Amino acid sequence: GQQLNQSPQSMFIQEGEDVSMNCTSSSIFNTWLWYKQDPGEGPVLLIALYKAGELTSNGRLTAQFGITRKDSFLNISASIPSDVGIYFCMNSGGYQKVTFGTGTKLQVIP
Amino acid sequence: NAGVTQTPKFQVLKTGQSMTLQCAQDMNHNSMYWYRQDPGMGLRLIYYSASEGTTDKGEVPNGYNVSRLNKREFSLRLESAAPSQTSVYFCASSEGNRQPQHFGDGTRLSIL
């Protein structure tokens, strides 16, 4: 199925560094969702965005809904080892129009 | 606070065997979903249930059937398992259409 373009595909960073990743689409969406998936587990919802321009934080995580409604950004500040995992975006234009980002694999070096 | 619970966590089947994957949510959500996740493919929607009493096909429904047993439970059945159905299966639920989905921890299914 259709996937959202997500970058970077993978990142190696030092503990304490900030991280930024983004998702882009050719379509306009009304919702952007960010998830994290740890190995062997299911995706966990991190942040939900509902309005263009919206900036929402969840602890060290901050996400923004792009004003064009075609993109979204996720930032992680002061990374720690437990931030390791795969992050992906998701949005839903309806039950059969769910699309997922290709994922960003984050590795944190202690 | 269980959220979405899937059973079993792991299963190995032989080609042609049947199996039902169970999913239950305790968030009083109206909508439930079944996905499969394969390497390099991301999550793909198999079936969904918009509300109790309704089910509809997603992107990859062939070889699967579902039952929305009640508001809490949504099961996925493989009638005659095939090696191509080896995958990790995730159940999810949401309050409704276009609402954030909450996922279970998955069932890892291998078909030999």
Of B65, B13, B11, which Cα lies nearest the Cα of B34? Answer: B65
Q: How does pLDDT run across A40-53, given as a tens digit for each residue?
A: 899 999 999 999 99
What does the pLDDT read at residue A18? 97
Structure tokens, B64: 């699967």
Collect all residues of chain A within an 8 Å Cβ-Cβ radius of residue B59. Answer: 1, 96
Average pLDDT value for residue range B25-48: 93
How far apart, in Å, are the Cα atoms of B14 and each of A5, B80, B107, B109, B112? Answer: 37, 9, 16, 11, 5
| DSSP assignment letter at B85 | G
CB–CB contact A92 B97 (8 Å): yes
Q: Which residues pair with A32 in a beta bridge?
A: A49
Cα first-last separation, chain B: 35
CB–CB contact A102 B42 (8 Å): yes
Collect all residues of chain A within an 8 Å Cβ-Cβ radius of residue B50. Answer: 95
- Residues in B whose CB is inside 8 Å of some CB of A read 4, 31, 42-45, 48, 50, 56, 58-59, 90, 97-106
What does the pLDDT read at residue A95? 78
Per cent of chain B over pLDDT 90 is 90
Q: How does pLDDT run across B79-112, given as a tens digit for each residue?
A: 999 999 999 999 999 999 889 999 999 999 999 9
How far apart, in Å, are the Cα atoms of B29 and each of A36, A77, A94, B70, B80? Answer: 21, 33, 16, 11, 30
What does the pLDDT read at residue A2? 62
Planar angle of CA B80, B109, B64, nearest 5 degrees: 40
